[in-house]
């Protein structure tokens, strides 16, 4: 074969350039590529009968193309700052340098724990605590608590009861509640007195009611309990009274009232009793003035008292104003 017939140059030159010339001419043809030693070496690493066709062919792969049930979108979220709860969850968070590990953790009951050292948790803007918060060390508040500047008001300290101002009681008063002393703030004296009254109270009789002559600022107040229907307490203006002191603690539950012929029956009186605390309380109200007749014997709620009084509410328009001919108060027992 004549070399000049197939080479581009009639005089190819030195023999060592013939190979290069042939290689260049060959690779310049369609569908011809160089097969390098490096490619041959790489091909030699492929296992015998290995399938490198179709999906198995060497190519650039995405995470989603690998053997996993997770979607590509979920896997991608691991690297784009998205929330991927369905893919992966953390029950522990470690410090950036790995110490401590873990600085924050959540147990099976959903309770959040923060490592006690060195700093715990900083809440910069807002946080909601559902059930409880257990703090093992100091709480440092940079803002306010319900609008109150804790640091400015120096509330981060041990307080005595007396140091507070939301009470009218003094610290000394409050301290006696645990010191066994007597105080104006709190006393059992009233309760003890009631117990004493209950122990000594007897059922009042008519004789008990008539034992001591009535007193008061009505004219002739003794007329209400002298067992004489002719004598009357009179000249009763609103607020005037005639009072009977039993001289002991009694129980009363019924009464009746006798009037006067000089009444126009347009006045009103009431009955009050004196209790264990020394105060007067209404027992029967709305009693109308009347002529020379008795009211029925009326039963009322039983009370304990050491005195009873009839008080004018509205003056009768009759002669000598309101008149009380007689009054009877005692107990059915």
The domain ranges of the chain are 13-85, 90-121, 140-180, 202-330
Predicted pLDDT at 118: 46
Alpha-carbon distance of 200 to 202, in angstroms, equals 6
User: Which pTM was predicted?
Assistant: 0.47
How is residue 157 written in tokens? 């300290």
Strand 104-106 and strand 112-114: the pairing is antiparallel
Predicted pLDDT at 165: 60
Cis peptide before 318 (omega within 30 of 0): no
pLDDT in tens for each of the 333 residues of the chain?
A: 444 455 555 555 555 577 778 888 887 888 888 778 888 888 788 777 777 776 666 666 666 566 566 777 776 766 666 666 666 666 667 766 766 666 677 777 767 676 644 455 555 556 666 666 666 667 777 777 777 776 666 554 555 655 656 556 666 666 666 666 666 665 667 777 788 888 889 999 999 999 999 999 999 999 999 999 999 999 889 999 999 999 999 999 999 999 999 999 999 999 999 999 999 999 999 999 999 999 999 999 999 999 999 999 999 999 889 999 999 999 998
Predicted pLDDT at 40: 82
What are the φ/ψ torsions at residue 324 (nearest 5 degrees)? -120, 110
Predicted pLDDT at 193: 74
- Decide: helix, strand or coil at residue 112: strand
CATH T-level assignment (fold) for domain 202-330: Jelly Rolls (2.60.120)
Torsion, Cα 22 25 29 32, to 10 degrees, reads: 40
Predicted pLDDT at 49: 75
Alpha-carbon distance of 100 to 119, in angstroms, equals 11
How is residue 175 written in tokens? 């301290």
Which helix (H) or strand (E) segment is 37 a member of? helix 37-43
Give the chain's end-to-end CA distance (angstroms, integer): 158
The residue to which tokens 């309101």 are assigned: 322
Alpha-carbon distance of 295 to 254, in angstroms, equals 12
Alpha-carbon distance of 244 to 221, in angstroms, equals 9
Alpha-carbon distance of 89 to 63, in angstroms, equals 19
């Amino acid at each position: 074969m004549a070399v000049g017939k197939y080479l581009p140059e009639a005089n190819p030159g030195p023999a060592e350039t013939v190979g290069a010339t042939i290689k260049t001419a060959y690779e310049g043809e369609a569908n011809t590529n160089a097969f390098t030693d490096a490619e041959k070496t790489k091909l030699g690493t492929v296992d015998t009968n290995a399938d490198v066709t179709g999906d198995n062919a060497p190519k650039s792969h995405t995470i989603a193309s690998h053997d996993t049930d997770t979607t590509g979108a979920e896997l991608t979220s691991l690297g784009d700052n998205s929330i991927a709860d369905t893919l992966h969850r953390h029950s522990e968070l470690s410090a950036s340098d790995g110490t401590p590990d873990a600085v924050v953790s959540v147990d099976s009951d959903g309770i959040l724990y923060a490592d006690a050292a060195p700093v715990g948790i900083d809440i910069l803007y807002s946080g909601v605590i559902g059930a409880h918060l257990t703090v093992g060390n100091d709480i440092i508040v940079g803002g306010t608590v319900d609008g109150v500047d804790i640091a400015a008001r120096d509330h981060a300290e041990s307080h005595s009861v007396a140091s507070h101002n939301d009470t009218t009681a003094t610290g000394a008063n409050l301290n006696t509640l645990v010191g066994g002393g007597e105080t104006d703030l709190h006393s059992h004296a009233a309760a003890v007195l009631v117990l004493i009254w209950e122990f000594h109270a007897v059922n009042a009789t008519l004789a008990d009611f008539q034992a001591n002559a009535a007193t008061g600022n009505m004219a002739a107040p003794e007329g209400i309990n002298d067992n004489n229907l002719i004598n009357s307490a009179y000249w009763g203006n609103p607020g005037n009274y005639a009072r009977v002191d039993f001289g002991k603690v009694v129980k009363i539950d019924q009464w009746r009232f006798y009037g006067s012929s000089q009444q126009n029956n347009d006045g009103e009186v009431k009955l009050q009793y004196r209790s264990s605390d020394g105060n007067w309380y209404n027992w029967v109200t709305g009693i109308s003035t009347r002529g020379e007749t008795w009211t029925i014997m009326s039963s009322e709620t039983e009370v304990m008292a050491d005195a009873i009084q009839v008080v004018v509410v509205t003056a009768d328009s009759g002669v000598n104003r309101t008149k009380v001919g007689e009054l009877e108060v005692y107990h059915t027992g």
